[in-house]
Amino acid sequence: MQTEAIADAIKLTAQLLEVHGENPFKIKSLSNAAYRLDKTDIDLAGKSLAELEAIDGIGKSIAAKIFELQQTGTTKELRALLEKTPAGVIQMLGIKGVGPKKVAQLWRELGVESPGELHYACCENRLVELKGFGAKTQESVKKAIEFTMANAGKFHYASVEKTALQLVDYLKKTMQTELVSLTGPMRRKCEIIETIHVLVAADESPDMAGFEQESAVPVEIELCKPEEFYRALFLASADVSHLKQLETLNIAFPTEAASEEAIYSHYGLQYIAPELREGRGEILLAQRNEIPTLIEFSDLRGTLHNHTKWSDGMHSIQDMAEKCIAMGLEYFGLCDHSQSAFYAGGLKPEKLIEQWKEIDTLNEKFAPFKIFKGIESDILHDGSLDYPEEILKQFDFIVASVHSGLKMDREKATTRLLRAIENPYTTMLGHPTGRLLLSREGYPIDHEKIIDACAANGVAIELNAHPYRLDLDWRWIPYALEKGVLISINPDAHEKEGLLDMYFGVCVARKGMLTADKCLNAQNREAITNWFSRKKQ
Ligand SMILES: [Zn+2]
Ligand SMILES: [Zn+2]
């Protein structure tokens, strides 16, 4: 073992002991030793225990550790520590500005177990009120995590879209052509992006010196002749399985094409939007001319599931409502956290009564714009909702979500959700799996059972539009639609700007072939008011 690796192992031991709140003197002596070893040029290889003990500044116990590391590559103590610490918690130790003590606090007090969960906790302002943290620390922690995530080579769509669009503009300008387009997963609006692919009709590579790229995502530029642009665009945009299924039609690829529409009509198919070119049954539908008109952002009439200062949001109800009005929306569904979510300022019944008064006043002020009295009710461990019936019945609508006890097996998780769906006060199921893209898988659920139950109970399903969630996964939308379940594209906004996240929900909803008439919050104010009251009866 190299001296450097030995120093690292001792440092990690010290950090983990601190995470687990062990003896501070022992921790201090280990981290001092690690520091010294890191700086030393003494070669520790092949030294006997006695020789190690003789080295200046290395005591008996450290020498024993070094010897054990030399012999076995690890120590018993380190192995035991690693065993009782989740891998994600260990990863959190690598985040700049978060020492072992803070990691321990985040883990114990917020239940955060990975850098991704920590990032999301920052997005939800969980660190602002946490002792020893605050808004500034929260911001720097968030930045530090974003940096590591970017280095892992995978990016949330939302974090690279701006770069991609700027790149297209830049290429159009520098290459003096309109024949520039995103291709690949970026054009298909996939939720995770590894590379931005761009196609340019040009003879030689563009000069990229003038392009200041904001994000670390790799960029690949493909060149083609102008007359080949649409054929190349088509080939570079679709997923391989889409192209393979086209091949089975036994029609040769057109030798020229003036547009992608022309290519599809060459195959005798209805036009297929880029988002759909995944090889998931879209070609069959196009053959029968059955691809519906996909939902667009402008179809949305309101927004449900949003947080304010009353729980863990940044802005007041009035601020949020005014932003909605500025966006041209007709209603705003308020869904602060319920009482069990104490870490997120969940509302006790007496607080709710105060909040409803404020809503009544604002509703008079902003009419006909409407603020609906909703709640994001925690689904408790046994599947029940978080208030007694006399409170539940006073809400206009209820989003039921799981926030605690995320480590369940499929059967337990499904049963828990089913109970919540069967509760007559549940209007919709919030973020069905609790996943965080690129950082947390979410609990396993039997999607078919859950969707069937929503259909049977007239419960809508949320497509949480936060770009880190996008949960319900769009791949399940067709099944939900087939069963007649409405989908609600919810931003889960914790601040005004968060309302715009509905756009990312629309991007993936299109991939799932959602249409405006099957989207709950594409209904106008009157229709949704009726829908809520029908559901309550
Ligand atoms: Zn939630
Ligand atoms: Zn929420």
C-alpha of residue 253 to centroid of ligand 1, in Å: 47
Task: Give the position of tokens 């921790």.
Answer: 27
- What ligand is nearest to the CA atom of residue 492? 2
C-alpha of residue 15 to centroid of ligand 1, in Å: 32
Element (H, E) at 461: strand 460-464
The domain 3-151 is placed in CATH, from the list 1.10.150.110, 3.40.605.10, 1.10.150.120, 3.40.190.10, at 1.10.150.110
- What ligand is nearest to the CA atom of residue 312? 2
C-alpha of residue 376 to centroid of ligand 1, in Å: 7
The pLDDT value given to residue 291: 98
Residue count (the chain): 537
- What ligand is nearest to the CA atom of residue 375? 2
Task: State how beta strands 397-401 and 460-464 pair.
Answer: unpaired
CATH superfamily, domain 155-287, is: Beta Polymerase, domain 2 (3.30.460.10)
Alpha helices by DSSP H, 73-182: 76-83, 87-92, 100-110, 115-123, 135-151, 157-175
More confident residue, 212 or 390: 390
Q: How far apart are CA 3 and CA 141, in angstroms?
A: 31
C-alpha of residue 501 to centroid of ligand 2, in Å: 13
Beta carbons of 121 and 127 less than 8 angstroms apart: yes
**Sign for the pseudo-dihedral over CA of 244, 286, 299, 401:** negative
C-alpha of residue 377 to centroid of ligand 1, in Å: 9
The fraction of the chain above a pLDDT of 70, given in percent, is 100
The pLDDT value given to residue 444: 94
C-alpha of residue 430 to centroid of ligand 2, in Å: 8
Question: Topology of 297-536 in CATH?
Answer: TIM Barrel (3.20.20)
The pLDDT value given to residue 3: 86
The tens digit of pLDDT for each residue in 152-176 reads 889 999 999 999 999 999 999 999 9
Confidence of residue 4 (pLDDT cuts 50, 70, 90): confident
C-alpha of residue 332 to centroid of ligand 2, in Å: 14
**Stretch 356-384: mean pLDDT, rounded?**
98
98-102, 355-359, 451-455, 503-507: which range is least confident on average? Answer: 98-102
Q: Is the pLDDT of residue 360 over 90?
A: yes
C-alpha of residue 229 to centroid of ligand 2, in Å: 44
| Domain-wise residue ranges, the chain | 3-151, 155-287, 297-536
- Of the candidates 465, 454, 411, 410, the residue with the CA atom closest to the CA atom of residue 429: 454
C-alpha of residue 400 to centroid of ligand 1, in Å: 8
The pLDDT value given to residue 342: 87
Instruction: Copy the structure tokens of residue 468.
Output: 């880190």
Beta carbons of 491 and 296 less than 8 angstroms apart: no
C-alpha of residue 390 to centroid of ligand 2, in Å: 23
The tens digit of pLDDT for each residue in 319-340 reads 999 999 999 999 999 999 999 9
C-alpha of residue 145 to centroid of ligand 1, in Å: 21
Taking all residues of the chain, what is their mean pLDDT, rounded to a whole number? 95
**Stretch 445-462: mean pLDDT, rounded?**
98
Q: Is the pLDDT of residue 506 over 80?
A: yes
| Secondary structure class of 284 (helix, strand, coil) | helix
- Cis omega (within 30 of 0) on the bond before 304? no
The pLDDT value given to residue 440: 83
C-alpha of residue 443 to centroid of ligand 1, in Å: 14
| Secondary structure class of 397 (helix, strand, coil) | strand
**Sign for the pseudo-dihedral over CA of 166, 170, 176, 179:** negative
C-alpha of residue 108 to centroid of ligand 2, in Å: 22
Q: How far apart are CA 370 and CA 372, in angstroms?
A: 6
C-alpha of residue 431 to centroid of ligand 1, in Å: 7
C-alpha of residue 401 to centroid of ligand 1, in Å: 6
Which residues 6+ apart lie within 8 Å of 105 measured at CB? 130, 131, 132
Confidence of residue 312 (pLDDT cuts 50, 70, 90): very high
The pLDDT value given to residue 141: 93
The tens digit of pLDDT for each residue in 202-256 reads 999 999 999 988 778 999 999 999 999 999 999 999 999 999 999 999 999 999 9
DSSP code, position 436: B
What secondary structure does DSSP assign to 464-531, as a single string? E-STTT-BS-GGGHHHHHHTT--EEEE--BSSGGGGGGHHHHHHHHHHTT--GGGBGGGS-HHHHHHH
- Predicted TM-score (pTM) of this structure: 0.84
Q: Is the pLDDT of residue 198 over 80?
A: yes
C-alpha of residue 303 to centroid of ligand 2, in Å: 12
Q: Is the pLDDT of residue 144 over 90?
A: no
Task: State how beta strands 196-201 and 219-224 pair.
Answer: parallel
Q: Is the pLDDT of residue 147 over 80?
A: no
C-alpha of residue 291 to centroid of ligand 1, in Å: 33
C-alpha of residue 365 to centroid of ligand 1, in Å: 29
